């Protein structure tokens, strides 16, 4: 079994309005940084998992993200995966 560190980036689809992002942008402008033109807020989910190989880990993460981490109607996700170390069998 191998040990993996994964990061799942969940972001709103471009067509979806982001009220939280608008609020943060107003705060940033209030700080004086009016050169900031757009702000979008998303989720970062960091997981550690054990899997037989990389392909298995990726397939599992895809299913987890689709079922639990992201709402497919309004969100998309991107997965980054690093192998940490091969655990003892």
Q: Footprint of a second copy on this chain (CB under 8 A)?
A: 9-11, 24, 27-28, 31, 33, 35-51, 60, 63-64, 67-69
CA count, 13 A, side-chain hemisphere, 60: 14
Shortest Å distance, C-beta 16 to a second copy: 13
Let me know the angle formed at the C-alpha of 1 by 64 and 50, rounded to the nearest 5 degrees: 30
8 A C-beta contact, residue 46 and residue 7: yes
Shortest Å distance, C-beta 25 to a second copy: 8
Shortest Å distance, C-beta 73 to a second copy: 18
């Amino acid at each position: 079994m191998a040990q993996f560190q994964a990061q799942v980036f969940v972001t709103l689809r471009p067509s979806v309005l982001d009220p939280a992002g608008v609020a943060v942008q107003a705060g940033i402008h209030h700080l004086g940084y009016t050169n900031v033109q757009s702000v979008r807020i998303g989720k970062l989910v960091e997981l550690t998992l054990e899997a037989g190989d990389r392909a298995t880990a990726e397939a599992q993460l895809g299913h987890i993200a689709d079922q639990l981490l992201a709402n497919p109607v309004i969100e998309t996700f991107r997965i980054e995966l690093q192998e940490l170390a091969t655990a003892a069998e």
